[in-house]
Amino acid sequence: MEHPVFGKKEEKEYTARYGAYIVIGRKNNEEIILVQAPNGAFFLPGGEIEKGETHEMAIDREMLEELGFKVEIGAYLGEAVEYFYSSHRDTYYYHPGYFYCAARWEKIAEPTETTNHISWHSIDDAMLLLKRGSHRWAVQQWLKQENK
């Protein structure tokens, strides 16, 4: 199966960075939660899959770190690849992302990471705010799932 690819691949050395992300909705899925990094960029909740982790383990860990949430992972939305340059890390990344939707969620604690800002947004606003094309693609896949 062909995966959508976002970003422009340049003639550079790329570092692989695999990530797992989740779309979490509320208010009859009229809003989704986004994480705003310290640099101002907005992303879906989730992040890098650490050595030895499954997608599910990475999502569980990231939800506690970023949101203080316990989630029940629902449908798999798919994989999308992003090529990007991180000026913060001075690195070019090849970034396959694996995207899921939350079947259920609950806030169980305060986030352990305190550098991010968490906020709920309408779908239209989220699509404008999200930095990565792969994250916008995942929201579109989620909307198709929700409207079956």
Domain boundaries in the chain?
Answer: 5-146
CATH of domain 5-146: 3.90.79.10
- Using the predicted structure, report yes or no on whether residue 1 has a pLDDT greater than 70: no
Residue 146 CA, distance from chain mean position: 18
pLDDT, tens only, 58-71: 999 999 999 999 99
106 — pLDDT class (breaks 50, 70, 90): very high
- Mean pLDDT (whole number) for 109-133: 96
Average pLDDT across the chain, whole number: 95
On whether the CB atoms of residues 16 and 9 are closer than 8 A, the answer is no
- Mean pLDDT (whole number) for 28-46: 95
